[in-house]
A and B are shown apart, each in its own frame.
Chain A
């Protein structure tokens, strides 16, 4: 064994042992106080990144779900609105038809009543006219006959005239 020689291949026991001892000590020290801290830091960061990525993915999935839900609700709302518009239109048409039918019925009723009133008035007028005509005819006939006609004859003659005029007017109608 060469000690402190100038031969680079000379083996020296002291540096050899020192290397083993020093490395063992430093490896133990690093293994106890350094590498665990570093590796834990790396693991923590990895876990954090993984967690953040998973959270982001979950949030994205939730957002997509919410968006889908919102779109679905929006579509439903649009459909409901369209349905309401359709119903309103239908109701309006129905009400319009109803009002129109009612108006037409009312109008027809009024026309019918007016017709009846006119008919009644016409009949009353005719009856009155016939009564006056009979009275006038009896009066004229009395003057022609130059004699007094008693009330019973007068009444009988008027009734006969009226009956006769009514029969005539019935024929005209």
Chain B
């Protein structure tokens, strides 16, 4: 039993990113999340490539069946993409911006989703268990692991910060591209109406600039912290539930009590796992959707987008509320 994670006394210790035993990169330990990122990226690419082949229009010889996706995975991917594009992104960003950023946003969503889902599968625990069964031949420290793949990469603030930085760059790229440097600065100062408005309103501009400038960094930081915190919280709860059995053994409880606690906590863990699957999808969606909202806000000064945003602000506000 001791070989399993449930024997660990600190659930957080199980969640945090650890160095892969025996591997270094630039004189720093190679972190488990790095391998997971690479593996997830490769697997995601091949899965999506396969789905794309199924969804893409087939040869003419297939007749009308060439338009039908082959396989349930491809159908699922298609449903998700169509839903995200038609029901979420186009209402918020409009046709033009959706077309421009759809590729990036879909990549963001599916990449985070893949990382979240992989984090729910106990690859690390299985490898640790195998290592334990082999007799623990190496001197592995607490900040290291014998596993070479797995773990919740999105439960690492370093990973979510990286993703948030990418979102930040894309959001600001959109700002400069749509508004130009002058428009971007005007946006930071409260917009064209405020800057070119009555002189007495200029007193407000420094305050607006301060808020907007920090907002530039707070928005992606919130994205990173939200994803990280949700993943950490979910996994902590899950690990805590699975630890109850081992804690009962350590506490010296009887067989009946240990069995009861294990069964109850096991059922709870299974139920929480279902919830975590939902959270994994939801957090991937929220990260992607809020990025889309922030991108669309950078086109706010454009006349053609005004009508869209009049509606979409409500959409974005409800999404923000849901995210919090």
Contacts and interface: CB of A to CB of B under 8 A. Distances in A.
Interface of A: 3-20, 22-27, 29-31, 33-42, 44-45, 48
Contact of B108 (A27, A41, A44, A48): A27
Nearest to B225: A9
Given A4-B143, A27-B103, A38 B56 contact: yes
Given A12-B156, A40-B56, 5 more contacts: A18-B38, A22-B41, A26-B41, A41-B52, A42-B78
Contacts of A10: 16, 157-158
Contacts of A18: 31, 33-34, 37-38, 162
B103 A31 contact: yes
B81 A16 contact: no
B44 A26 contact: yes
Given A35-B102, A35-B103, A26 B45 contact: yes
A20 B165 contact: yes
Contacts of A9: 157
Given A12-B31, A22-B38, A27-B104, A38 B162 contact: no
B55 interface: yes
Residue from A11, A17, A33, A38 whose CB has the most chain B CB atoms within 10 Å: A38
Contacts of B13: 6
Contact of A4 (B19, B102, B110): B19
A35 B106 contact: yes
Contacts, number: 158
Nearest to A25: B41
Q: How many interface residues does chain B have, given as a range?
A: 35 or more
A15 B156 contact: yes
- The secondary-structure label for the interface of chain B is helix
A34 B19 CA distance: 33
A48 B103 contact: no
5 contacts: A4-B143, A6-B10, A15-B33, A18-B34, A33-B52
A3 B52 contact: no
Residue from A20, A34, A45 whose CB has the most chain B CB atoms within 10 Å: A34
Interface string B67-95: 10100000001100110000000000000
Nearest to B115: A19
Closest 4 CB pairs of A and B: A19-B162, A27-B107, A37-B52, A26-B41
Contacts of B312: none
